[in-house]
Amino acid sequence: MDPIDIIQRYYDSASKAYRILVSHGRQVAEKALQAAQAVEHLHPNTDLIERAAMLHDIGMLGTNVSKLGCNGQEPYIRHGVIGREMLEREGMPAEALICERHVGTGISAMEICRRRLPLPKRDMLPVSLEEQIVCYADKFFSKNINRRNSEKSTQAILKSLARHGDEQVSRFKAWMEIFGF
């Protein structure tokens, strides 16, 4: 199934949110496919990676983030859960899990409880290789309109993740070792 067709079911192709989602998805897909090449010997499913990278932020539409052109009711941290529900309805369970598990470097049930996050109390950590690759690649790009076209350095990513706890930093550092950049 073509990710653009799915995105167009939910987003007006002339909208700001659509442009941001598709542009960001393409950047993440390209980076994710580079990461997949670094672990080619593990046989990652590159078709799944490419589709999921394009769709991982589809749930942002249900959030209230006007700078992204999204006028939903939910806080942004819920975009992964919203996206999972959307993609499950589309019959895309693997992509749905990637969508839910890409926020930060994933979020454990313990983190959700400790930080009192408005999320279901369950682990939302990337498990499969494909989940880890998309989550990793996503951290290199912002949806901020002013910084959207530039790739973040690993130091900038680590600094940003540090605000959310050591677990976030540790997972990203482990992926840096595995994917090699």
Q: Quick one: pLDDT at residue 143?
A: 86
pLDDT for 58-106, tens place per residue? 999 999 999 999 999 999 999 999 999 999 999 999 999 999 999 999 9
Q: Which long-range contacts (CB under 8 A, 24 or more apart) does 3-8 make?
A: 3/50, 3/51, 3/54, 3/55, 4/54, 6/55, 6/58, 6/87, 6/90, 6/92, 7/54, 7/55, 7/58
Q: Quick one: pLDDT at residue 150?
A: 83
Residue-averaged pLDDT of the chain: 95
Rounded CA separation 147/141 (Å): 8
Rounded CA separation 150/141 (Å): 7
Report whether pLDDT(145) > 70: no
CB contact at 8 A, 68 and 20: yes
Neighbours of 122 (CB within 10 A): 12
The predicted model gives 116-137 an average pLDDT of 98
pLDDT for 87-100, tens place per residue? 999 999 999 999 99
**φ, ψ at 129 (rounded to 5°):** -60, -45
Q: Quick one: pLDDT at residue 38?
A: 95
CA 29 to chain centre: 10
Give the angle 156-172-106 at the CA atoms, nearest 5°.
Answer: 110
58 CB-near residues (< 8 Å, 6+ apart):
6, 7, 10, 21, 83, 86, 87, 99
Rounded CA separation 112/123 (Å): 8
pTM attached to this predicted model: 0.95
Domains held by the chain: number: 1
Give residue 57's domain range.
Answer: 3-179
CATH code, 145: 1.10.3210
